[in-house]
């Protein structure tokens, strides 16, 4: 009767009773939940698994660099199903990231058969269910991360510098990109989204599948991104958080997107020297961006005169107005920030909002 109610076949019960086979984790969970037995007490004292194709290295260690990297990967492009008996899935375009994830997983959990498979949009790597349980206990949430208030795990946030570097390098490998456009703009960025469908923030979007800027101070910021910004600050890297807008899907799900951006030359160089990328393409693009900096100062404080000449005809002007003119005369787009800062300190101009300035009357 119990087997029928729990949907466990009689053959499984008979073979497990005769010790001809070991019960699956899903079967143990069904029985434990039915009799209200605290399975966690047993799980915390497991030191050996026998007669299994997958023999993990127990006790599991997730506070070392390999453990930090696999948690960072799953906080970015990984997914832990709500059902703990299902396989954790990692999805990313770059096959190099899949190979690296599998190598790291083998170092932590022991060897097991695993390789990337073709997914709906991106390659997928499926890991054993026990890996998902270990990741959950070490700070990776189950289900849709956009719905959960994620945080950087406490041991990483309070860990030493080397642990934080490993975490950030994997995050930027998975989620980061290097901006180096035709105007000379250079930045390293990561973006994350938060589901705000049920937040009742007092606005509605008529059109779907289109990003839109909605000014609302109650739109919640991505907390995982905040923690990553703090880690960058602790390493001496200036990183700013910007709100990018909201998006309504065909299924009427609304998400808000936030971005961390490292844009100052000294912070970009520090990022490249301390963190950088494991991926060759991103590493090369960052190298090219840093190599393109041209520092050509104007003689005899001519910078102020040039900036005023360019900007004076425009009442409300932007960072880009000066940056494009500097590119035309063979100087760096990013030097506009230096000259605007100088004019602001001398009270020639004033900043009224992000990237927008006006002259003092």
Q: Do domains 65-143 and 171-197+209-291 have the same CATH topology?
A: yes
Residue 124's contacts (CB-CB under 8 Å, 6 or more residues apart) are 89, 90, 91, 116, 117, 118
pLDDT at 294: 64
**Regarding the domain delimited by 299-359, which CATH topology (the fold level of the hierarchy) does it fall under?**
Arc Repressor Mutant, subunit A (1.10.10)
State how far the Cα of 163 lies from the Cα of 72, in Å rounded to an integer. 11
Q: How far is Cα 272 from Cα 274, in angstroms, rounded to an integer?
A: 6
Pick the CATH number of 65-143 from 3.10.28.10, 3.30.300.20, 1.10.8.60, 2.70.70.10: 3.10.28.10
Cα–Cα distance measured from residue 294 to residue 238, given in angstroms and rounded to the nearest whole number? 21
Return per-residue pLDDT of the chain as tens, 361 residues: 667 777 778 787 778 777 777 777 677 777 777 777 665 655 555 544 544 555 566 667 788 899 999 999 999 999 999 888 889 999 999 999 999 999 999 998 888 888 888 888 889 999 988 888 889 988 899 988 887 778 999 999 998 999 999 999 999 999 999 988 766 678 899 999 888 877 777 667 766 667 777 777 778 888 999 999 999 999 999 999 988 888 887 777 888 888 999 988 888 999 999 999 999 999 999 998 888 776 555 555 666 677 777 777 776 777 777 777 777 776 767 677 777 777 788 787 888 777 777 777 6
Task: Give the DSSP letter of residue 22.
Answer: P
pLDDT score recorded for residue 47: 45
Q: Where are the domains of the chain?
A: 2-43, 65-143, 171-197+209-291, 299-359
Q: d(Cα 224, Cα 152) in Å, to the nearest integer?
A: 6
């Amino acid at each position: 009767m119990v087997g029928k109610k729990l949907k466990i076949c009689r053959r499984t019960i008979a073979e497990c009773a005769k010790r001809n086979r070991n019960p699956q984790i899903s079967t143990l969970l069904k029985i434990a939940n039915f009799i209200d037995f605290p399975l966690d007490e047993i799980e915390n004292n497991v030191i050996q698994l026998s007669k299994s194709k997958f023999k993990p290295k127990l006790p599991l260690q997730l506070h070392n660099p390999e453990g930090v990297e696999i948690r960072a990967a799953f906080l970015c492009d990984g997914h832990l199903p709500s059902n703990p008996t299902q396989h954790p899935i990692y999805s990313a375009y770059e096959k190099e990231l899949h190979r690296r994830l599998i190598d790291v997983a083998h170092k932590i959990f022991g060897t097991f058969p695993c390789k990337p498979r073709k997914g709906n949009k991106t390659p997928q790597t499926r890991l054993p269910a026990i890996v998902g349980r270990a990741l959950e206990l070490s700070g990776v949430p189950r289900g849709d991360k956009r719905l959960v208030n994620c945080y950087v795990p406490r041991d990483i946030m309070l860990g030493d510098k080397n642990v934080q570097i490993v975490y950030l390098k994997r995050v930027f490998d998975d989620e980061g990109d290097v901006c180096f456009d035709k105007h000379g703009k250079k930045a390293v960025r990561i973006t994350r989204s938060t589901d705000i469908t049920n937040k009742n923030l007092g606005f509605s979007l008529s059109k779907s599948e289109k990003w839109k800027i909605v000014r609302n101070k109650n739109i919640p910021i991505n907390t995982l991104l905040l923690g990553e910004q703090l880690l960058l600050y602790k390493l001496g890297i200036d990183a700013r958080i910007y709100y990018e807008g909201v998006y309504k899907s065909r299924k009427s799900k609304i998400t808000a997107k936030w971005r961390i951006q490292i844009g100052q030359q000294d912070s970009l160089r520090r990022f490249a020297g301390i963190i950088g990328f494991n991926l060759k393409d991103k590493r090369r693009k960052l190298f090219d961006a840093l190599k393109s900096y041209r520092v050509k100062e104007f003689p005899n404080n001519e910078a102020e005169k040039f900036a005023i000449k360019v900007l004076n005809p425009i009442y409300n002007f932007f960072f880009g107005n000066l940056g494009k003119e500097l590119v035309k005369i063979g100087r760096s787009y990013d030097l506009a920030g230096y000259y605007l800062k100088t004019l602001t300190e001398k009270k020639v101009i004033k900043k009224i909002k992000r990237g927008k300035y006006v002259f003092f009357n």
